[in-house]
Amino acid sequence: MTAAENSERCTAKINVIRRPSGVVEPDIVAVEGPLEILVEDSPFAITMRTPGNDIELVTGFLFSEGCVEEIEDISAIEAIGKNSVHVRFASGISLDADRVMSAHRSRYASSACGVCSRETIDQLMDNLKPMAPTEPVDSKILQSLPTLMRVAQKAFEETGGIHAAALFDIKGDFIVLREDIGRHNAVDKVIGWCLSQDDFELESTILLVSGRIGFEIVQKAAVARIPVLAAIGAPSSMAVELALSIGMQMYGFLSDSRCNQYSPLVRG
């Protein structure tokens, strides 16, 4: 799929009334639609997403949710029509769909209903390994990333209403960007792209997200072993606590002139 074709699927044209002039003219909005995930011919999940890079999205989702540990665990993955992706696992790999989807729903419910963060983080920590200690990223590198990401946000440029996740190397060089109506979907698309590349190492990369950081974004980055997570917006308290617990570098309110470092903190 070319960049132009992908952009066409990401956006749609609708008519709007401009107020207070009352002029009716076309506007461009981000597309949102359902994607059905089939595993071994059986329905597994339906997620709302922005069309495009669907195979990357499903690959990243299966990896970040703990369904697979490596790309070789997937023997085949293909798009069926415009709104379905079918997955087959390698021999010996099985999927406890009820357990995976129950845990997935539980984590997202916790963010909305105020469940004790300590209980949720303890559950997550069972499957997350601490990060290897790394030197804080240079401020000049961090402050250069928002501009680099913004240049690559083609769908956002048209709509103003779509999230992005961008991956950089530790020197601040751009690697890949994906956009989606869902913040976590954009992250899954980036992770899925990385898994599809031969011998791609995530241990020396920076993940930048366009909005805020919730704990589910930290969890996905941690599973992928991405050591540095940054955002244009703010992190939640649970996201900071989880990052501190595993030693992940976390930065928020990133701009070309400033940022906040949340983790690791210097204990005084």
Catalytic amino acids? 113
Lookup: tokens for 77:
């993955």
The 10 Å Cβ neighbour count of residue 19 is 7
Lookup: tokens for 187:
């992250």
Alpha-carbon distance 46 to 43, whole Å? 8
CA atoms within 13 A on the CB side of 149: 29
Lookup: tokens for 37:
């995930």
Backbone angles phi, psi at 121, to 5 degrees: -65, -40
